Amino acid sequence: MVPTILVEIHNSLFSGYLGINRTIRRTQRLNFWPLMNSDIENWIKSCELCSERKQPPNPVRAQLSSMPIASMPFERVSTNIMVPLPVSGPSKYQYVLVFICYFSKYVEFIPLSDIRASTVAKAFIENVLCRHGSPSFLHSDRGSNYLSNIVRETCKLFEITKTHTTNYHLQCNGQSERMMRSVKDMFSKYLDDNKNWHNFLPFIQFAYNTAPSVDTTDYSPFFLVYCRHPKNPIDSNSPNLDVNKTAQEYVTTLLEELEIARKIAKELIEIRKSEMLKKAYKNRDNPNFNVGDIVYLYKPVLVAGIGRKLNRPWIGPYYISQKRSEIHVKLRRKFDGKLLKNRVHINRLQRGYVWTNEPYDITPPLNEDAVEPAIISVDETPADSIAEEVQPNLSQSQDNATKNNNSDKTIFSVEKILRKKRIKGKWKYRVKWVGFDSWVDFKDLNLECQNYVTDMHNKIPSVRR
């Protein structure tokens, strides 16, 4: 009786999916039962539609985790792509590919007419490898061009470790994002005529690389890479203090200054990173997510035909199947146990609830199921989550996988139901027996299997034609 009333006062057409306080006040006029307020609160908290729409009052803000500090220029490089710009020049440039050195903060800007994987890989080789040598690490977001086989094989060829951010969490590539903000500010002040913005790109790059990095190293990126300050039109009247030095003296002095400058720069990076983390920790908590917790996942992708204002940005419910670190987890969808491939940053999660009086257990489903939990298919998965593999944990031992004689019929042990297909109006099921598998008609299954297939029919994947 209570669930029926709760559906009417919250989920029905005339209820409007209102909040806890309004629903309680409206219900008190005509109904009463023990722990009514608690039941209403739990019911609304466990409402999937409300959880998918409403922003949590206290969003998760996990502790920051910093990238390793590089010890020399272009040991670690991050990359990003500036969003489509107005078409520029006869080559029809629309994008700016950016590379930035983690140690020196030196940047390379490359105008591109497209951002295909082959174009990105070619620009990386010509503008980074051929100028600065091969980096040890290359960090990027999860764009399809960066995750392509071409970029992967390029990194493999030059022995570069390729790393990437987690989905929808731009803070994982914070250095590139912050630098892009500065570059856009510089761009906006030069671009009176957007038709030829690519002509300004080398000058903006020069200005950025020759300016001291006051927030990190106190040296200019140009100086940390080349150990000298470039001469520009502003310095045209300045005297050359090295004019009387021999080549050997110049090299000796250069190496001494370079070693000192890079040592000081690394120390300053460590100090300022520590100060930044200390400041950031003041406004962050340490959310305690555990395996088995019910959660909803933030997915800022608009659904076709639904505007941003009416979009439900949280999807789920999921449960946490594995903790990869203090800030990364793996998820399975609760209603069918399917796995999301990519790890998820906990800042994208909000806690979910299950109404305690519902007829199903709140504990997550086990992996041991006659139907393999399988993988979330491409058409039903979030845009950032394409599954790679699932290794189900089957608890059935091989000791039970034996043939038994019953009268004149041989009974085989069933491990799981793999697939189904419809032939001439009748369903056939591909059964994995112990040691082999085969297609069988529904009528050929024993009573226990028939009952199971009847209950689980919609969850058994069909053969794709």
Q: How far is CA 41 from CA 38, 44, 67, 351, in A?
A: 5, 5, 42, 15
Query: How many CA atoms, within 13 angstroms, populate the side-chain half-sphere of residue 327?
Result: 18
Residues in a beta bridge with 101: 77
Report whether pLDDT(63) > 60.
Answer: yes
Compute the distance between CA of residue 258 and CA of residue 227 in angstroms, rounded to an integer.
6
In CATH terms, 414-458 corresponds, of 1.10.287.130, 3.40.710.10, 3.40.50.300, 2.40.50.40, to: 2.40.50.40
Give the mean pLDDT of 17-46. 88
327, 344 contact by CB (below 8 A): no
Residue 82 pLDDT level (bands cut at 50, 70, 90): confident
Least confident piece of the model among 167-171, 207-211, 223-227: 167-171
Q: Does the domain formed by 293-351 have CATH 3.30.70?
A: no
pLDDT band at 121 (very low <50, low <70, confident <90, very high): very high
- Residue 209 near residue 132 (C-beta atoms within 8 A): no
* Sign, CA torsion 147/151/157/158: negative
Residue 287 has pLDDT above 60, yes or no: yes
Residue 99's pLDDT is what?
A: 93
Residue 269 — very low, low, confident or very high, per pLDDT cuts 50/70/90?
A: confident
Query: Structural domain boundaries of the chain?
Result: 1-46, 76-235+246-268, 293-351, 414-458
Specify the higher pLDDT residue, 260 or 380: 260
Q: Which has the closest alpha carbon to 337: 379, 297, 382, 292?
A: 292
In this prediction, residue 142 carries a pLDDT of 84
Quick one: how far is CA 422 from the chain centroid?
38
Please provide the average confidence, as pLDDT, over all residues in the chain. 76
d(CA 222, CA 230): 8
Per-residue model confidence (pLDDT) at position 243: 56
Q: Cα–Cα distance between 443 and 98 in angstroms, integer?
A: 63
* 295 against 395, higher pLDDT: 295
pTM over 0.75: no
Q: What is the dihedral of CA 307, 308, 309, 312, to 10 degrees?
A: 100
Q: How far apart are CA 317 and CA 351, in angstroms?
A: 9
Per-residue pLDDT, averaged over 224-237, amounts to: 76
Q: Answer for the pair 202, 177: CB distance below 8 angstroms, yes or no.
A: no
- The CATH number of domain 76-235+246-268, selected from 3.30.420.10, 3.40.50.2000, 3.30.450.20, 3.40.718.10: 3.30.420.10
